[in-house]
A and B are shown apart, each in its own frame.
Chain A
Amino acid sequence: MKKKMLAVMMSAVLVGGLMAVPAFAAENLSDTTEGIAQFDGLEAKEAYDFQIVVKSFQSTYWQAALQGMDQAAEELGVTYSAQGPASESDIADQVNMLNSAINGAPAGVGLAACDTSSVLESLQAAADAGVPIVAFDTGIADAPEGSVVCTVVTDNTAAGEVAAENLYAAVKDQIGNGTVRIGEINQDNYALNIQQRGLGFINKLIELAAADGYTVAMEGNEFYVDAAEGAVEGDADIILEVRVPAQTTVDLCSTEAGTILDKEDTIAVFGSNQTAAEGLLVANDNREVLGDTVVGVGFDAGTSIKAAVEDGTFLGAVTQSPLMMGYYCIYALTAAANGEELIDVPTDGYWYDASNMEDENIAPNLYD
Chain B
Amino acid sequence: MTKKKSIFTQEVIVGIVLVALYFIFRTISSDFGKYTTFLSMMDISYYYALMAIGVAFPLITGGVDLSIGTGMICYALAGGCLIRFYNVPTGLAMLVSVLFGLGIGLANGVLISVMGLPPFLATLCTCMITRGLGSVVTGSFAIPWPTAKQDNGWFHSIFKITLADKTKLPLGLVWIILLMLIMQFVLAHTRFGRYTIAIGSNKEAAILSGINVKFYHIMVYAVSGLFAGLASIAYAAVIKTVQPGTGAGMELDAIGGAIVGGVSASGGYGTIYGTVIGAYVILFLKQGLPYIGFNANMQQIITGFVLIGAVTIDIIKRKVIK
Does A pair with B? yes
Q: Is B312 an interface residue (CB 8 A)?
A: no
Q: Is B190 an interface residue (CB 8 A)?
A: no
**A58 to B291 alpha-carbon distance, docked (Å):** 27
Segment of A95-103, A254-262, A323-331 engaged in the interface with chain B: A254-262
Q: Is the CB of B240 within 8 A of A249?
A: no
Closest to B292 in A: A259
Closest to B33 in A: A262
The 8 A CB mask of B276-313 against A (1 = contact, 0 = none) is: 00000000001100110001110110000000000000
Q: Is the CB of A285 within 8 A of B299?
A: no
Beta-carbon contacts under 8 Å, B238-277 to A = 238-241, 243-246, 248-249
Q: Is the CB of A262 within 8 A of B31?
A: yes
Residues of B within 8 A of A245 (CB): 296
Q: Is the CB of B168 within 8 A of A304?
A: no
**A63 to B244 alpha-carbon distance, docked (Å):** 12
Q: Is B34 an interface residue (CB 8 A)?
A: yes
**A368 to B300 alpha-carbon distance, docked (Å):** 33
B292 CB to nearest A CB, Å: 10
Q: Is the CB of B238 within 8 A of A60?
A: no
Q: Is A48 an interface residue (CB 8 A)?
A: no
Partner of B291, one of A85, A86, A259, A307: A259
Beta-carbon contacts under 8 Å, A302-352 to B = 302-304, 307
Partner of A286, one of B36, B140, B149, B240: B36
Q: Is A111 an interface residue (CB 8 A)?
A: no
Residues of B within 8 A of A249 (CB): 243, 246
Grouping DSSP codes into helix (H, G, I), strand (E, B) and loop, the B interface class, with mixed when no group exceeds half, is helix
B299 CB to nearest A CB, Å: 7
Q: Is the CB of A56 within 8 A of B290?
A: no
**A328 to B141 alpha-carbon distance, docked (Å):** 21
Closest to A83 in B: B140
A35 CB to nearest B CB, Å: 28
Q: How many residues of A contact B (CB 8 A)?
A: 39
Q: Is the CB of A285 within 8 A of B43?
A: yes
A110 CB to nearest B CB, Å: 16
The 8 A CB mask of B157-197 against A (1 = contact, 0 = none) is: 00000000000100000000000000000000000000000
Q: Is the CB of B296 within 8 A of A262?
A: no
Q: Is the CB of A255 within 8 A of B248?
A: no
Q: Is A283 an interface residue (CB 8 A)?
A: yes
Q: Is the CB of B244 within 8 A of A304?
A: no
**A368 to B37 alpha-carbon distance, docked (Å):** 29
B128 CB to nearest A CB, Å: 10
**A368 to B287 alpha-carbon distance, docked (Å):** 29
Q: Is B152 an interface residue (CB 8 A)?
A: no
Q: Is the CB of A58 within 8 A of B31?
A: no
Partner of A285, one of B40, B244, B245: B40
Q: Is the CB of A278 within 8 A of B240?
A: yes
**A113 to B89 alpha-carbon distance, docked (Å):** 39
Q: Is A244 an interface residue (CB 8 A)?
A: yes
Closest to B156 in A: A285
Beta-carbon contacts under 8 Å, A281-310 to B = 282-283, 285-287, 302-304, 307
Residues of B within 8 A of A251 (CB): 44, 238-239
Highest count of chain B CB atoms <10 Å: which of A56, A59, A252, A262: A262
Q: Is the CB of A304 within 8 A of B243?
A: no
**A275 to B245 alpha-carbon distance, docked (Å):** 14
Q: Is B144 an interface residue (CB 8 A)?
A: yes
Residues of A within 8 A of B97 (CB): none
Q: Is A174 an interface residue (CB 8 A)?
A: no
Q: Is A42 an interface residue (CB 8 A)?
A: no
Residues of A within 8 A of B124 (CB): none
Q: Is the CB of A262 within 8 A of B239?
A: no
B82 CB to nearest A CB, Å: 16
Binding site for B on A (CB under 8 A): 56-60, 62-63, 84-87, 221, 243-247, 249-252, 254-256, 258-259, 262-263, 278, 282-283, 285-287, 302-304, 307, 368
Complex A-B: 30 CB contacts under 8 Å: A56-B245, A57-B142, A57-B243, A58-B244, A58-B246, A60-B141, A62-B141, A63-B141, A84-B140, A87-B245, A244-B295, A246-B297, A247-B249, A249-B243, A251-B44, A251-B238, A255-B286, A262-B32, A262-B291, A278-B240, A278-B241, A285-B43, A285-B238, A286-B39, A302-B142, A302-B241, A303-B241, A304-B144, A304-B241, A307-B149
Knowing that A86-B248, A247-B249, A285-B238 touch, tell me 18 more A-B residue pairs with CB under 8 angstroms.
A57-B135, A57-B141, A57-B244, A85-B245, A86-B245, A86-B246, A87-B246, A243-B290, A246-B296, A259-B290, A262-B31, A262-B34, A263-B31, A278-B240, A278-B241, A283-B40, A286-B36, A303-B241
